[in-house]
Amino acid sequence: MSHGWKVRTGAVAAAAVALLGPAAVAAPASAEALSCPRKMFCVWKGADFTGEIYGSDQHDRCWHGITDGRSMANEMRHAVHAFEFSDCTGATFTLEPGFDTATTPFPVNSVRS
């Protein structure tokens, strides 16, 4: 069953997670990121997995409509690429399967999965 693009509102408790630097180093999935369902990627509007959450289980496309996402989790079986601009261009970082980041290195406005 395909979930498509989902948006929901909610807050998840914050915890210490390694910060992403410009080299896009991420930490294995934390307890807070577990609210991202298996086989999906999720982007939270706030740092530390808080605020509106955007997510999808579909791949091979550019997901836009995200507005300044600040934390992210990847529960898909492949890497996802976050972008600075809404058309999957600009600064980018890669989040490998099973990893998350409580603070993205820039506001995320699109994701290629």
- Does residue 52 sit within a domain? yes
The token duo for 44 is 């939270």
Q: Could you tell me the residue range of the domain that residue 77 belongs to?
A: 6-12+26-112
- Does residue 21 sit within a domain? no
- Does residue 72 sit within a domain? yes
- CATH no. for residue 83? 2.60.20.10
What is the spatial distance between Cα 27 and Cα 73, in angstroms, rounded to a whole number? 10
Average pLDDT estimate for 71-92: 97
Residue type, 64: H
pLDDT digits 0-9 by tens, 30-80: 555 568 999 999 999 999 999 999 999 998 899 998 999 999 999 999 999
- Number of domains forming the structure of the chain: 1
- Does residue 31 sit within a domain? yes
pLDDT for 35 equals: 84
pLDDT for 3 equals: 38
Contact indicator for 26, 101 with CB cutoff of 8 Å = yes
